[in-house]
Structure 1
Amino acid sequence: MEITIKINRQFMSVEVSAEVADYLEQAKRNNRKLYRERQRYWDGRECDEYIISTEGRLPYCATPEELVCQRETLDEILAVLALCTDTQRERFLLHALYDFSYAEIAEMCGCTKSAVGKSINAVKNIFWKLWK
């Protein structure tokens, strides 16, 4: 049986037995299957139990208890923020959530750095009083 193979970027025709031809055809099919598997799984387009078991990692899911604790903590934080003035709440959230410096917040709000510091410290004091 005659097959064509590529050696050093050149195609050559070679006479081989039927067993060798079958072996090479099976190898081609296996390579195509591996290529498809890589396309499906390793670039993130699909996921199945085999990958999860071989990788040994599962996505993190919070337990129901953790979700309840998170919700209770959020409710407590929102209750404290409800006790603050609008200015205090705005300055505190800009600092805590968005990590702006006192100088940047002062520039945004049109006030001094010390006024921003006093507002943020007032909110922190309310937190400490309610959580102690």
Structure 2
Amino acid sequence: MEAHIIVNGQSVAVDVSVEVFSYMDRADHKDENLAHEKRRHWDGREFDEYIIAHECSRSYYETPEDWLCRRETLREIMTALEGCTAKQRRRFLLFALEGLSCSQIGNICGCSKSAILKSVEAVRRKLKHALQAG
């Protein structure tokens, strides 16, 4: 079977046995599952019964201070996104808002999974820098 691997940043097609292909495929799925898990817990907390019981059960009333902080944060995020290229912005939004994997975005954009990952990481760094500066 034919598998694609990255060598010095280039995708190379290699003939491999069915067992090796199966192993590589399972590894790719495991990587994607880990990425989804990281996104699911983006704030570093564990998704457990405590959070559900204490934060999701009561109604949320936004104070004027909370509203103002949310608006300022949104403005900072939008300013940081404007500083990104159109490709980076599109790839990041597909990843962060739509929840697509790097492989899926690569298929949509016609590029490699590593190119998508580099774009997403570049935008994350810009957002992190913008939010720390603000």
- Which bracket does the TM-score occupy, shorter chain normalised? 0.5 to 0.7
Counterpart of 2:109 in structure 1: which amino acid? C
- Aligned to 1:130, the other structure's residue is in SS state helix
Counterpart of 1:61 in structure 2: which amino acid? Y
Deviation per CA, 1:77-127: give whole Å up to 9, x if none. Answer: 000000000000000011111110000000111111011011111111112
Structure-2 change in CA distance of 1:65 and 1:117 (3 Å):
same
Give the structure 1 partner of residue 27 of structure 2.
none
Give the structure 1 partner of residue 81 of structure 2.
81
Identity of aligned residues (%): 45
Larger Rg: 1
1:1-132 maps to which residues of 2 (within 5 A)? 59-132=59-132
- What's the C-alpha RMSD, in Å, of the aligned pairs? 1.7
Deviation at residue 131 of structure 1 after TM alignment: 3.0
- Aligned to 2:74, the other structure's residue is in SS state helix
- Aligned to 1:107, the other structure's residue is in SS state helix
Q: Distance in 2 between matches of 1:59 and 1:131?
A: 28
Aligned residues: 76
- Aligned to 1:78, the other structure's residue is in SS state helix
Deviation at residue 59 of structure 1 after TM alignment: 4.4
Deviation per CA, 1:46-71: give whole Å up to 9, x if none. Answer: xxxxxxxxxxx984321111110110
Q: Where does structure 2 lack aligned partners over 5 or more consecutive residues?
A: 1-56
Q: Where does structure 1 lack aligned partners over 5 or more consecutive residues?
A: 1-56
Structure-2 change in CA distance of 1:101 and 1:58 (3 Å):
closer
Q: Distance in 2 between matches of 1:58 and 1:111?
A: 44
Counterpart of 2:120 in structure 1: which amino acid? I
The alignment's TM-score, normalised by the length of structure 2, stands at: 0.53
The alignment's TM-score, normalised by the length of structure 1, stands at: 0.53
- Aligned to 2:111, the other structure's residue is in SS state coil
Q: Distance in 2 between matches of 1:68 and 1:77?
A: 14
| Greater RCO, CA 8 A, separation 6+ | 2
Q: Which runs of 4+ in 1 moved over 6 A?
A: none
